[in-house]
Amino acid sequence: MNALTNKMTISKHQLLDPITTMANIIMLNFMPLGTKISIRNNKINIVTNDQLQAAKRLYYGDSRKDLSFLYSVIEQFISLYLVANKSNNRLITDSLITFNTSSCIPVSSRENYYEKLCKLATYLCKGLKRLQETYFYINNKQQDTTTFTLQYFINTINDALDEKYDHDNKSRKPSHNSCENINVDNDILIWSSDDLEDIYKRFYNCFDEHDEPIKNKQMLDDNLNIIRAIIDLMDKKFLERVEKV
């Protein structure tokens, strides 16, 4: 079992799509406390809090230290989407995310596009906070490296939302030696602005005016089912592109 565990742990260094990763973490807002995530097959997998959770995590070599691998993908979400679209002052008419030829940054001129990305970033912070609560209670309400790592991610995203983000500032970077995951090249990004608008609309329908999950269970379930279908589709598209690299 140790040999298998070590092999699976090494494989945590893999390509992750920024938007699909974000969407999966946002989904934690609607899952019971104790739900965790796993990195395998170039995607984030949600591991429900049931009797098989520990066995599944052991089999796949999952560890709380794997959360440090989110460092690069969160930074990519900030730089490729939040920062790029905040600073975008170019006229773009294509319905897809368009890449500026000089900087290869995905940008869009759609109305309120940046504000919608910011709202998704807010939901992302709430999902990370939910995961942080899971580990906080597992540790008998004690902070540890895992909760501090998740707080770093939350702080970094909030810095971006407050226009204080500094990509070159590594002073608060998680201390794990393995936190540098593989960056995704722009040519395998899969989300169009239409796709992003759709996922935003679905998530927006799941939260109330206070950014808490809505009480209407039928409406919530309907939107979450659509979101899951979108995530599954995007996971397949991303894996197809990764296999061609």
Q: Which two tokens stand for residue 88?
A: 């975008």
39-71 confidence digits (pLDDT tens): 888 899 998 888 878 788 888 778 888 888 899
The predicted pLDDT at position 188 comes to: 73
The predicted pLDDT at position 235 comes to: 95
Q: Which two tokens stand for residue 46?
A: 């949600």
Of the CA atoms within 13 Å of residue 133, those in its CB half-sphere come to 13
Q: What is the mean pLDDT of residues 116-125?
A: 96
7 DSSP 8-state letter: H
195-227 confidence digits (pLDDT tens): 999 999 999 999 999 999 999 999 999 999 999
The predicted pLDDT at position 25 comes to: 97
H/E stretch holding 46:
strand 43-47
The predicted pLDDT at position 102 comes to: 39
81-109 confidence digits (pLDDT tens): 888 887 663 333 344 444 443 344 456 65
The predicted pLDDT at position 94 comes to: 40
The predicted pLDDT at position 151 comes to: 95
The predicted pLDDT at position 152 comes to: 95
CA 97 – CA 241 distance, rounded (Å): 17
Enumerate the domain spans of the chain: 2-244
- pLDDT surpassing 50 at residue 3: no
H/E stretch holding 129:
helix 113-138
The predicted pLDDT at position 211 comes to: 95
Q: In this structure, which long-range contacts are made by residues 172-180, counting pairs with CB atoms below 8 Å and at least 24 apart in sequence?
A: 173/71, 174/68, 174/71, 174/148, 174/149, 175/145, 176/65, 176/68, 176/145, 176/149, 178/12, 178/13, 178/65, 178/68, 178/69, 179/68, 179/69, 179/71, 179/72, 180/71, 180/72
Residues 74, 157 contacting (CB under 8 angstroms):
yes
The predicted pLDDT at position 51 comes to: 80
CA 197 – CA 192 distance, rounded (Å): 9
CA 48 – CA 46 distance, rounded (Å): 6
H/E stretch holding 38:
strand 36-40
The predicted pLDDT at position 7 comes to: 43
The predicted pLDDT at position 155 comes to: 95
149-184 confidence digits (pLDDT tens): 999 999 999 999 998 887 666 555 555 444 455 556
pTM recorded for the entire structure? 0.82
